[in-house]
Amino acid sequence: MVQIKMTTHLLGANELLANKNRRLFEEKGMLVINLMSSPGAGKTTILERTIEMLSGKIRIGVIEGDLYTDQDAVRIGNKGIDVIQINTEGACHLDAGMVGKAFEQLPNSELDLLFIENVGNLVCPAEFDLGEDYRAVVLSTVEGNDKPMKYPLIFHQARAVLLNKTDLLPYTDFDLDRFREDLVRINPSAEVFEVSGRTGEGIEDWLQWLLEEVKKKQLLR
Amino acid sequence: MVQIKMTTHLLGANELLANKNRRLFEEKGMLVINLMSSPGAGKTTILERTIEMLSGKIRIGVIEGDLYTDQDAVRIGNKGIDVIQINTEGACHLDAGMVGKAFEQLPNSELDLLFIENVGNLVCPAEFDLGEDYRAVVLSTVEGNDKPMKYPLIFHQARAVLLNKTDLLPYTDFDLDRFREDLVRINPSAEVFEVSGRTGEGIEDWLQWLLEEVKKKQLLR
């Protein structure tokens, strides 16, 4: 049973390890994004496209979280960048200790941008600080516009929300106005990007924001 | 923090309460289905359609699990059947104690079929027996065919797997052959239904199976 790890004591330990990660990332002037979503919302596809389009511009690394497989890490590795796989062996989220150990294994830790792709889950990952700068949540249009109201914590904490699979909007009942209204209520300061990882539509704005945030982080070094 | 509830001790308590629920459901000769999926895979839409199409044939009740809202319970209630909402207040799954209490609140507990719609999550709900006869997992085509391999426990335990949103198949990269192969590897005895909750395609087979299982359960009474 994995859940016995998650006691209040160990959550305290998670905070200590998250702060340790954060100090390390700050020393390196590296922007760190904790990417979260439901299973199948399109985190990995968005990462693939982001890596392709920023290739040669900045140095990117990825830590991949998955219960048991390394399928996503293989996809990311195919893009020619360093990736470390964490298998949680059934646990429904990453924790700061796992991320700290994975980071040590990255062949090159001198990066401008580190993505941590969390386990596909809209509940548990929201409870665990990994030492990231920002949390980004991907929601796919096909999941329905009611998700910010149904999973408020994860949307409330997000610095960026990517509404993915906009290419499928015509085939769904997704209410875009209602989604935007609900999101503003839960998190008025979130950056919202409407994208299609598959077609590339809207990805440019997301990349622009990432590059600006990478620059800001480096200036703070 | 919700996770502190989930210790091995309390998991033991969950088993006791699940067995208590199971005995009660058996006395009543009621088929109980624990319905699980990612957020937005279409559990509620499938329930709505199931209730509509079985209206007047059998007596159905629903227990709805959600973190905070009652949106799904309102949708189900609009179909004219009894529904009880459980709000887990952040917990990522239902447990047997919650279900037992909710069942007591059902205005009419003389049912042929009780659905328990779990919290949208492919990880945590798989760990908790609710006293159900069967678990049914809904996967939407838009989530990708890799999900059974990535979330094997929940697919392994399922008596029925509903591949939903088949109407969106032409717009996705979902590999149907690969999905079927993977699922057979993880769970060779699962009943698989390829459906569209939205258009109703394929729902008939699912209803047929439900009616047969309801009948079997009543014979065992």
d(CA A211, CA A155): 22
Which of A151, A154, A186, A198 would best serve as a mutation to test chain B binding (most B beta carbons within 10 A)?
A151
What's the predicted TM-score (pTM) here? 0.91
Residues of B in contact with A127 (CB under 8 A): 1, 3
B160/chain A closest Cα distance in angstroms: 19
Per the CB < 8 Å rule, is A151 touching B39? yes
Q: What is the pLDDT of residue A11?
A: 66
What does residue B35 show for φ and ψ, rounded to 5 degrees? Answer: -100, 120
Among A38, A66, A152, beta carbon nearest to B150: A66
Instruction: Please classify residue A79 by burial: count the beta carbons closer than 10 Å to its beta carbon, then call 0-12 exposed, 13-18 middle and 19+ buried.
Output: middle
- Beta strands (DSSP E) in chain B are 31-37, 60-66, 83-87, 113-117, 134-140, 160-164, 191-194
The string of DSSP codes covering B63-120 is: EEEESS--HHHHHHHTTTS-EEEEE-TT-SS--HHHHHHHHHH-S----SEEEEE--S
* CB-count burial class (<10 Å; 0-12, 13-18, 19+) for B208: exposed
pLDDT digits (tens, 9 = 90+) for B67-110: 999 999 999 999 999 999 999 999 999 999 999 999 999 999 99
CB contact under 8 A, A142 and B40: yes
Distance (Å, whole) CA B166 – CA B174? 10
Q: Using an 8 Å Cβ cutoff, are B9 and B160 in contact?
A: no
Residue B136 sits at φ, ψ, to 5 deg, of: -125, 130
Per-residue pLDDT tens listing for chain A (221 residues): 223 333 445 668 999 999 999 999 999 999 999 999 999 999 999 999 999 999 999 999 999 999 999 999 999 999 999 999 999 999 999 999 999 999 999 999 999 999 999 999 999 999 999 999 999 999 999 999 999 999 999 999 999 999 999 999 999 999 999 999 999 999 999 999 999 999 999 999 999 999 999 999 999 87
A120–B150 C-beta distance less than 8 A: yes
User: What pLDDT, on the 0 to 100 scale, is given for residue B10?
Assistant: 62
Helix (H), strand (E) at residue B44 = helix B43-54
pLDDT above 70: residue B8: no
Best mutation target, B143, B174, B196, B199, to test chain A (most A CBs within 10 A): B143
Three-class SS of residue A64?
strand
Q: Which residues of A touch B (CB under 8 A)?
A: 1, 3-4, 6-8, 11, 38-41, 66-69, 71, 90-92, 119-124, 127, 140, 142-144, 146-147, 149-153, 165, 167-168, 171-173, 198
Q: Do residues A126 and A36 lie in contact, with contact meaning Cβ atoms separated by under 8 Å? A: yes
- With residues binned 3-state (H G I as helix, E B as strand, rest as coil), the percentages for chain A, rounded to 5, are 45, 20, 35
| Cα gap A217→B199, rounded to integer Å | 49
Model ipTM over 0.90: no
Residue of A4, A93, A174 to mutate, testing the B interface (most B Cβ within 10 Å of its Cβ): A4
Name every residue in B having a CB less than 8 A away from some CB of A.
1, 3-4, 6-8, 11, 38-41, 66-69, 71, 90-92, 119-124, 127, 140, 142-144, 146-147, 149-153, 165, 167-168, 171-173, 198
Question: What is the reported pLDDT for B5?
Answer: 35
Round the average pLDDT of chain B to a whole number and report it: 94
> What's the gap in Å between the CA of A28 and the closest CA on chain B?
33
The class (CATH top level) of B2-219 is: alpha beta
* Proportion of chain B in helix, strand, coil states, percent, rounded to 5: 45, 20, 35
Average pLDDT in the B133-148 region?
Answer: 98
d(CA A4, CA B124): 13
How far apart (Å, rounded) are the C-alpha atoms in residues B212 and B78? Answer: 26
Q: Which of A40, A68, A121 sits opposite B142 (nearest CB)?
A: A40
Q: Where are the alpha helices (DSSP H) in chain A?
A: 8-27, 43-54, 71-77, 96-104, 147-150, 152-157, 176-186, 203-219
Q: Where are the domains of chain A?
A: 2-219
Residue type, A201: E
Q: Do B150 and A122 count as a contact with CB atoms less than 8 A apart?
A: no
Element holding A193 (H helix, E strand): strand A191-194
CA distance A23 to A29: 10
Closest residue on chain B to A43 (Cα): B143
How far apart CA B83 and CA B105 sit, in angstroms, is 9
- pLDDT at position A163, please? 98
> What pLDDT is recorded for position A220?
83
Residue A170 vs residues A165, A205, B171: alpha-carbon distances, Å: 10, 22, 11
What is residue B3's predicted lDDT score, i.e. its pLDDT? 30
B165: helix, strand or coil: coil
Shortest distance between the Cα of A220 and any Cα of chain B, in A, equals 33
